[in-house]
Amino acid sequence: MLAQNQRPEVGRHGFGSTLLRRRESGVRILLTAWGSRGDVEPLVGLAVELRKLGAQVRVCAPPDEEFRALLARVDVPLLPLGPTVRSVVAGTKPPTAEDAFRLAPALVAARFDTLAGAAEGSDVLLATGLMPAGARDVAEKLGIRYVYACFHILGLPSRHFPPGARPGRQSPADESDNRVLWEQDAQRVNALYGEALNRHRAAIGLPPVENVRDHVFTGRPWLAADATLCPSRGLTDLDVRQTGPWLLPDDRPLPEGLEAFLDAGPAPVYVGFGSMAAHAPEGIARVAVEACRAHGRRLVLGRGWADLAAVDDADDCFVVGEVNQQALFRRVAAVVHHGGAGTTTTAALAGAPQVVVPRIADQPHWAARVAELGLGRAHDDSTPTVDSLSAALDGALTAEIRARATAVAALIRTDGAAVAARTLLDGLDPEGSPGSA
């Protein structure tokens, strides 16, 4: 890493000579992620809290219109990074392993090219989302502090659980030693990102990295998740700093039509799968409608990236697009969703019973936690039928589950973004010089 006052040389990646600009303009923070809304919205919540403390904040994220609108709500411009997420995930079929091996080096290149300019003059670069290989390297070249943050512990090496699925050469089916499995996970990360990362590092005069995953994570990653929903103590080999979830307060009113629908009868069930597009369960709209009708319940259907729509003209289903889920979830009988970290936390904070239909990545983990905590039911199969979803709703729509969900809601901390903002700034001296993660 460069000495504190050393200026980086100008290179083909755009590393300029205005690093010391931060001494004149106060603390400057760059936040970056490439991933779904669940990866981007927490950064917006953190940006809000950082600005309250006087920091200048920039957010580098995918150029999807949804993310532009999200940042526009808090008057933070989006600095585009890589392709839109929709262009990658919203095809007729889920992305393949071949797609992943094309995307990984492209994102590495995008981070070197984009973050080099965006981080110029910053004091801290905080990265999250899909394996942000390249972010730490830009920070290293610029001589600024780097922080890696995640929203669950499933990707962090642990002797207590195996790694999740990742494209590449898979571990033998009979391998059960978690240490070995995590070593093989690191090899898969290297296969995806290693060549591109080290090629770009060499271009700016940095030595190669042997273990890309551990290099990205650092020895002390930050965990932006609630300790009740996602405990971490003793569960990973790394020194995790858990701040609580980075929530973006939402005071937008619900649409008039939705308000009228909610007022017109008993609390409906909400069903939505967020940014799951090709991964949304087949036929889920019809399954959801019929399962809710089997319980005599109306339905609020979240359109999401799968573009779900009403299946008939009956007046017991209301379709919503972008909406204030914090307000909506407080008024529904249950929330049926895919198990993303953000949706799980929002539903839990609202005290709403949940039915989680996990599809990919960390979603099975959140489904299991919902069931373990007594907040609702985990749907065993990723493609529900009318009968199976009806049975799950039968288990979630009880007074006992509602009472438990209400009790747990009171335990979830809501100041995680403020904690993280203070921690980021406390790591800098009064002049804004780099500190350790």
Per-residue pLDDT tens, the chain, 437 aa: give them.
Answer: 333 333 344 344 555 543 444 444 589 999 999 999 999 999 999 999 999 999 999 999 999 999 999 999 999 989 999 999 999 987 777 789 999 999 999 999 999 999 999 999 999 999 999 999 999 999 999 999 999 999 999 899 999 999 998 999 999 999 999 999 999 999 999 999 999 999 999 999 999 999 999 999 999 999 999 999 999 999 998 999 999 999 999 999 999 999 999 999 999 999 998 877 556 777 899 999 999 999 999 999 999 888 899 999 999 999 999 999 999 999 999 999 999 999 999 999 999 999 999 988 889 999 999 999 999 999 988 889 999 999 999 999 999 999 999 999 999 999 999 999 999 999 774 433 334 45
6 occurs within a structural domain = no
437 occurs within a structural domain = no
Burial status of residue 243 (CB atoms within 10 A of its CB: 0-12, 13-18, 19 or more) = buried
Same domain, 281 and 154: no
In the prediction, which pLDDT does 7 show?
Answer: 36
**Residue 266 to residue 414: CA distance in whole angstroms:** 29
Q: What is the pTM of this model?
A: 0.91
- Check residue 397 and report its DSSP letter: S
Dihedral (CA of 409, 415, 420, 421) sign: positive
364 occurs within a structural domain = yes
Residue 202 host element (H or E) = helix 195-203
Residue ranges with strand state E in 93-208: 124-129, 145-150
Number of domains in the chain: 2
Query: Distances in Å between the alpha carbon of 146 and those of 124, 268, 306?
Result: 6, 45, 35
Same domain, 340 and 200: no
Query: What residue numbers bound the domain in which 143 lies?
Result: 19-247+415-426
**What's the order of all strands across the beta sheet hosting 145-150?**
78-80, 56-61, 28-34, 124-129, 145-150, 222-223, 241-242
Closest of 287, 283, 320 to residue 301, by C-alpha: 320
52-91 burial: b if 16+ Cβ within 10 Å, else e: eeebbbbbbbbbbebbeebbeeeebebbbbbbebbebbbe
In the prediction, which pLDDT does 130 show?
Answer: 96
Same domain, 398 and 420: no
Same domain, 23 and 164: yes
Here the CATH number for the domain that contains residue 90 is: 3.40.50.2000
Same domain, 419 and 379: no
In the prediction, which pLDDT does 25 show?
Answer: 53
338 occurs within a structural domain = yes
